[in-house]
A and B are shown apart, each in its own frame.
Chain A
Amino acid sequence: MRVMAQMAMVMNLDKCIGCHTCSVTCKQAWTNRTGVEYVWFNNVETRPGQGYPRRYEDQDTWQGGWELNKRGRLALKAGGRFKKLAQIFSNPKLPALDDYYEPWTYDYETLTNAPLQNHTPVARPKSLITGKDMKISWSANWDDNLGGAPEHGDKDVLLSQVSEKIKFEFEQTFMFYLPRICEHCLNPSCAASCPSGAIYKREEDGIVLVDQDRCRGWRMCVTGCPYKKVYFNHRTGKAEKCTFCFPRVEVGLPTVCSETCVGRLRYIGLVLYDADRVLEAASTPDDTDLYEAQRGVFLDPNDPAVVREAENAGIPRDWVEAAQRSPVHALINTYKVALPLHPEYRTMPMVWYVPPLSPVVDAVRDTGQDAEDHRNLFAAVDALRIPVDYLAQLFTAGDPAPVDAVLRRLAAMRAYMRDINLGREPDARIPEAVGMGEEQMYDMYRLLALAKYDERYVIPPAHAEQAHSLEELATVCSLDYDGGPGMGGSGPFGESSGGAAPLAVENFHALRHRQTSDTAATPTDKARRVNLFNWDGKGRPPGLFPNEPSGGGNGTGGNGDGKDEPKP
Chain B
Amino acid sequence: MTAPAQHVTLAAETSTGGLLLWVVLPYVCLAVFVLGHIWRYRYDKFGWTTRSSQLYERRLLRIGSPLFHFGILVVLLGHIGGLVIPKSWTEAAGISEHVYHIGAVFLGTIAGVCTLGGLTILIYRRRTVGPVFSATTRNDKAMYVSLTLTIALGLAATVAANTVGGGYDYRETISPWFRSVFYFQPDPDLMTGAPVLFQLHALSALLLFAAWPFTRLVHMLTAPVGYLTRPYVVYRSRDTHLGARAPRRGWERSGT
Query: What residues make up the interface of A, taking CB atoms closer than 8 Å to B?
Result: 76, 81-82, 84-85, 88-92, 94, 96-97, 129-132, 187-188, 191-192, 194-197, 199-205, 211-219, 232, 234-238, 250, 462, 466, 468-471, 474, 476, 481, 486, 491-494, 496-502
Contact = CB atoms under 8 A, between A and B. Distances in A.
Contacts of A195: 224, 227
A462 B238 contact: yes
Interface stretch (B100-108, B149-157, B169-177, B242-250): B242-250
A324 B237 CA distance: 23
Which of A82, A92, A215 has the most chain B CB within a 10 Å cutoff?
A215
Contact of A216 (B134, B222, B235, B244): B222
A79 to B, nearest CB: 12
A236 B54 contact: no
B49 A216 contact: yes
Contacts, number: 177
B137 to A, nearest CB: 5
Given A88-B224, A90-B54, A499 B243 contact: no
Contacts of A471: 242-243
B168 interface: no
Given A195-B227, A199-B234, A129 B56 contact: yes
Interface of B: 40, 43-56, 58, 61-62, 65-66, 68-70, 130-131, 134-135, 137, 139-140, 214-216, 219, 222, 224-228, 230, 232-245, 247-248, 251, 253
Describe B's contact surface by its main secondary structure: loop
Contacts of B52: 217-219, 232, 237
A497 B234 contact: no
Nearest to B67: A89
A466 B242 CA distance: 9
Nearest to A490: B137
Contact of A91 (B54, B130, B244, B253): B54
Given A89-B70, A92-B62, A494 B47 contact: yes
A130 B70 CA distance: 30
A466 B254 CA distance: 11
Given A232-B55, A234-B55, A501-B244, A81 B227 contact: yes
B59 to A, nearest CB: 9
A497 B233 contact: no
B234 A216 contact: no
Contact of B244 (A89, A188, A500): A500
B111 to A, nearest CB: 15
B253 A192 contact: no
Contacts of A494: 47, 51, 137, 139-140
Given A216-B224, A498-B43, 15 more contacts: A88-B224, A89-B69, A94-B55, A97-B55, A196-B222, A200-B234, A200-B235, A201-B233, A211-B236, A213-B46, A217-B50, A232-B52, A232-B54, A492-B44, A502-B243
Nearest to B70: A89
Contacts of B66: 89-90
